[in-house]
Amino acid sequence: MAAQQEHIFLEHLNRHQAILYKVCKMYTDDREDQEDLKQEMVYQLWRSYPSFKEQSQFSTWMYRVALNTAILHLKKSKRTVPTTDMTGHIQIADDTKNAEEKERMALFYRGVRTLSKVEKAVIFLYMEGQSHREIAEQMGWSEGNARVRLLRAKNKLKENIKKLEK
C-alpha cells in the first residue's frame, strides 16, 4: 500500500509541480534558497499526504500546504528538519522563452517579494485562477474581504513594480 500511495502522490506532484516553482519564486530569488524551500515543501506535502481526504482538489490542498510552508520556512532563520530527497522524479522548468520575457518575469517576482506574506499568497492564488470565493476559502476570509485584499495587493504590486523599473 505504501508504494501505491507514493506512486499516486508523485503523480499528483508531477502534475502540479509548477505550483512549487511559482511559490518558491515569489518568496525568494536565490536559487539555493528556492531549492531548499522546494525541498521543504515536498517534505511537508509528503508528511501531510495521509491527511489529504480528497474533499478538495489536490492542487487546492497543495497550494495551502506550499504557501503555509513558505511562510513558516522563511519565518525561521534555519530549519534543520531531516528530509529525504523525494524530488528526484520532479523537474521544475522555467517556462520563460526569451530574454525580454525573463526580464519581465524577474521584475514581476522582485515586485512580488516586496509584498507582505499574505499579499503574496493572495496574488499567487489569483494568478492560479482562483475565484474570490476560492481565495476566501483558502485564506479563511469572507468573499468581500478577499476582493478588497486582492485589489489592494494588485495595486500595491503595480506601484512597487513601477518603482523598481526606475
What lies within 8 Å, CB to CB, of 49 at 6+ separation is 5, 9
Tens of pLDDT, residues 39-70: 999 999 999 998 888 888 888 889 889 988 88
**Cα–Cα distance measured from residue 129 to residue 7, given in angstroms and rounded to the nearest whole number:** 27
Q: What percent of the chain has pLDDT over 90?
A: 35
Asked if 16 and 75 sit in the same domain, the reply is yes
Among residues 50, 74, 95, which one ends one of the domains? 95
What pLDDT does residue 162 have?
93
Residue 30 pLDDT grade (very low, low, confident, very high; cuts 50, 70, 90): confident
State which of 77, 95, 113 marks the end of a domain: 95
Condensed to tens digits (0 to 9), the pLDDT of residues 63-118 reads 889 988 888 877 663 444 334 344 444 444 444 457 888 888 888 989 999 999 88
CA 32, CA 30: separation in Å to the nearest integer?
Answer: 6
What mean pLDDT is predicted for residues 135-154? 91
Domain identity same for 154 and 137: yes
Q: Span 135-150, mean pLDDT?
A: 90
Judge if 73 and 117 occupy the same domain: no
> Which domain covers residue 101, as residue numbers?
96-166
pTM of the predicted model, to two decimals? 0.61
Contacts of 138 (CB under 8 A, 6+ apart): 60, 63, 64, 121, 125, 130
Of 122 and 99, the structure prediction assigns the larger pLDDT to: 122
Total number of domains in the chain: 2
List the CATH number of the domain containing 114: 1.10.10.10
Residue 53 grid coordinates: 481526504
Q: Show which of 95, 123, 152 is a domain's final residue.
A: 95
